[in-house]
Every structure is written in structure tokens, then in C-alpha cells.
Structure 1
Amino acid sequence: MSVILMLLFLYLSRVCQLASVVNVLENIYGFNALKKGKDLANEKKLVGMGIAFVLYRFLALIWRVMMGILCGVIFLVLLLVFIVTQTVVYLVCKSYHWEAIDKVGLLTF
């Protein structure tokens, strides 16, 4: 069942993409553009769906990589904020107990 739905999705996406190109290049609008896109898509149905499948897989891979990078950056920022927060809490607690804070040690990186 899922294979049939995937093939239907690939076919419909190809027809809509061709209709949008027909819309721009030939100034045919609406259902007429969809009809012309359907006619164009029917000539090489399997080849077009194969190309669309490969492109969608490639885009899905790029999407996964970008989401991984984004999650890594968010994790890094949260980790750094957590470390800074721990340092501030340490310094506040130290000053609350009237202990000396080494300000020269804070300036060196």
C-alpha cells in the first residue's frame, strides 16, 4: 500500500512541477497548465518518477544532515550557557560567603 502511495506522490509531484514550468514558460494557467503537465509526464512516466525519487532521496539526505547540524549547534549553545550559568552561581555563592574572588584568574582565558 505504501509503495502505491509513494508512486502516486511521485507522479503527482512530477505533474505539478511540470505544470509550474509550463505556467512560466508558455503562459498557460490553471487546469490547462495541469493538463499540459500531465500530457508531458505521461510520455516518460517511469523515467521521470525514477528521477524524482532519486532527487527526493537526495533532498531527504540533505535535510537530515542540516537537521543534525542544527541540533548540534543548539546543543553546543545550551552547553555553553549551562557552563556560564554554573560559573555565575559559583561566584555568587562565593561572594555570599564573603570569600575572596580571584579576579585576575577570571581575566585569563
Structure 2
Amino acid sequence: MVIGVLYLVVHVYITALWHLASVVSVLEPVYGLVAMKKSYELLKGKIRVAVGALVIVNLVGLLVQSVLYYVCKSYHHQGIDKTALHEHLGGYLGEYVPLKSSLQMENLEA
């Protein structure tokens, strides 16, 4: 368990360092190990913020890619296998049950 957590921490740190080095190499006239050293210097003291931002950006990116996949499948009139999706996600696969609410959308005016 300790080795797994240590691996995860090191992996996320190196990923943050690598991504920042990519930005440094584009925005400044340095590249390679010099860009890595520059990103290391920039990450000092901000690693918690960088890791929180990197994790959020990666998760949102995966979500957007998934939505884009289903939008493209829908655009090309390809079916979505809901049973396979249910088995993969382990979620609820049932019929739509309307909410029991007295609020009607027709009554709302913007």
C-alpha cells in the first residue's frame, strides 16, 4: 500500500513537472533539461496547487473526451451499447422514472 501511494505521488509530481516544462519550452527560449530545471524551480512551494490543478484538469479532460465520443457516435447514427456501458461503469440501467414534483417546467418564464 505504501509503495502504491509513493508511486502515485512521484508519478503525479513528475507529470506536473513534465507539463510545466512543456509550457516553459514553448514560452521561453529554453528546452530539454534546462526547461525541466526551470519548471522544477517554478514548482517549488506550489506543488500542492499544481497537483490539485493537474488532477482536476485531467479528470475534466477525460470527461470531455467521453462526451465528445458519444456526441460523435450519435452524429454518425451509431448505436450506443447501454448494456456494455452499464457493465463497464457498474451503474444503474433501468427505465426512466419521472420525478414526483409539483414544479412544472412550462410554468417557468425567463
Q: Same fold (TM over 0.5)?
A: yes
TM-score by length of 2: 0.57
Cα RMSD after superposing both structures: 2.2
Contact 1:14–1:48 (CA under 8 A) maintained in structure 2: yes
- Which has the bigger relative contact order, CA under 8 A and spacing at least 6? 1
Contact 1:7–1:49 (CA under 8 A) maintained in structure 2: no
Which of residues 51, 54, 60 in structure 2 aligns to 1:58?
Answer: 60
Structure whose alpha-carbon radius of gyration is higher: 1
* AA matched with 2:39: G
SS at match of 2:21: helix
The separation in 1 between residues aligned to 2:6 and 2:63, in whole angstroms, is 22
The separation in 2 between residues aligned to 1:15 and 1:33, in whole angstroms, is 10
How far did 1:21 drift?
A: 2.1
* AA matched with 1:15: L
Higher helix fraction (1 or 2): 1
Per-residue CA distance 1:73-107 (angstroms, 9 max, x = gap): 34x258xxxxxxxxxxxxxxxxxxxxxxxxxxxxx
Moved over 2 A (4+): 1-10, 70-74
Identical aligned pairs, as a percentage?
Answer: 27
Contiguous gaps of at least 5 residues in structure 2: 80-110
Contiguous gaps of at least 5 residues in structure 1: 79-109
SS at match of 1:68: helix
CA gap 1:32/1:69 in 2 versus in 1, 3 angstroms? same
